[in-house]
Structures are given as structure tokens and as C-alpha cells.
A and B are shown apart, each in its own frame.
Chain A
């Protein structure tokens, strides 16, 4: 039990001196939590499309181009 750190005894910095001028020019860093959630939301939206797979239109297109000589291949 020692009481070296008495609260309020030492003021390491003048808080007014570190004004938040810089935060105006550079946006505050986002918390990890917020970033993670934005990322999840973004991926969910993106994967929603990805999970639709390859619409027939595109496999047909490839087959048409590739096709002629290779109709059996699939």
C-alpha cells in the first residue's frame, strides 16, 4: 500500500495548450469498433451480390465466344 500517486497533485500538461486545432484539418481516427462495423456492413452489401453467382447471361456469353468448336465442354 503506498500512496505515491495522489490524484490531482501533478498536472502533467496544460490542457488548454493542446487545443484541438489539428482535429479540424484531419478527421478524428475512427474507433476500431466503428471501423469493423462499417466493414461488415460494406461486405454484407457486396457479398449479397457476389452470392448471386454467375447469371446465365455471362456463362452464355462465354459459351458463345468459346463455344462453336467446344459445345460439349462445360
Chain B
């Protein structure tokens, strides 16, 4: 089944950020990659329902999110991901050494309600506008805004960064800003 070159490229180009989104949703690299793969397959199978001219990336994120939600509901009855699963997984991946400094932040992120977490990531990391994020999450723009605000406040609480002084340019922040190492 030959694919349209543009579609093919748009999908491939979206893979890195789809993975980042998926990992922050489910906290597990293997599951995240399965989610991304399923997202690609669904997108290709349903490419006719994509409206040319609209944001392909947002469309793919929507598919991934919906798939994650239905998977999650199914899975919750099976195995609950144990705490620290992601960290364990990182340890077993030699190519991901040097990323331990994200663990505290990642743990805090995991404590957020799913709605708040996804809103924060879409707006704060994936670079979507509030409007796009609202479309992806199928809710009102105001809802996204308040979720993002609540997510930030809770993160700040959990990480004890309620003032700039508490979160000065210490070694952890520097390491994070330097991208590890």
C-alpha cells in the first residue's frame, strides 16, 4: 500500500514527540512505543478521515490519547503499573544513562491527575496552543487552562519550589538544563 509522501513524512516526523507524549502519559517506554505504533497504524488506516490542511500532529496526538485512554481502562483491571517501573526500565537501558536527574520530576509528574498531566505536557512541552490542546483532549479551552494552572501549582508544591530561592541554580537544575551529564 504505497503512501502519500506527505502523509508518510508527517507521520514519521511526529514520532519523536508522540513517543515523548506517550512516555509521559504511561510512564513506561515499552508501552509507550506500543502506543505509538498503534497510533501510526490507526492513522494510516483512517487517513481518509484526516482533513488536509489541518494539523496532522494534533490529529495524531488525539489518536494516541484516545487509544491510551481505552487501553488504560482495560489495563487497570489487569496489572497496575508498579511505582518505579519507569526508573527500573531506564536502568536496563544503557543508552539512557545519565538521565537519572529527571526521576524526581518524573515521579512528581506521575502523581498528578491524568487530566492535569496531559494538559500540562501538551501545552508546556509539546508546544500546542491552549486551543489545540483543548481539541486533543475534547474539552473547553478554559478547562485546559485551569488544568495547566493546577498542574503547575501541584508540581511546585511537590517539588518544594514555591519561591525562586528554593529552586535556585543548584546542581540539579544545571544538570537538567544542560540536558544531563
The residues of A with any CB-CB pair to B shorter than 8 Å are 27-28, 30-31, 33-35, 37-55, 57-59, 61-62, 65-66, 68-70
Contact = CB atoms under 8 A, between A and B. Distances in A.
**Majority secondary structure, A binding face:** helix
Given A43-B124, A44-B176, A46-B20, A27 B153 contact: yes
B153 A50 contact: no
Given A43-B124, A53-B16, A61-B37, A38 B161 contact: yes
B141 interface: no
Interface residues on B, range: 35 or more
Interface string B1-23: 11100001001100111011001
B36 interface: yes
B1 A50 contact: no
Contacts of A33: 164, 167
A37 B161 contact: yes
Nearest to B154: A27
A38 B2 CA distance: 43
Report which residue of B105, B125, B150 has the largest number of chain A beta carbons within 10 angstroms of its beta carbon.
Answer: B125
Given A34-B162, A43-B125, A48-B179, A54 B105 contact: no
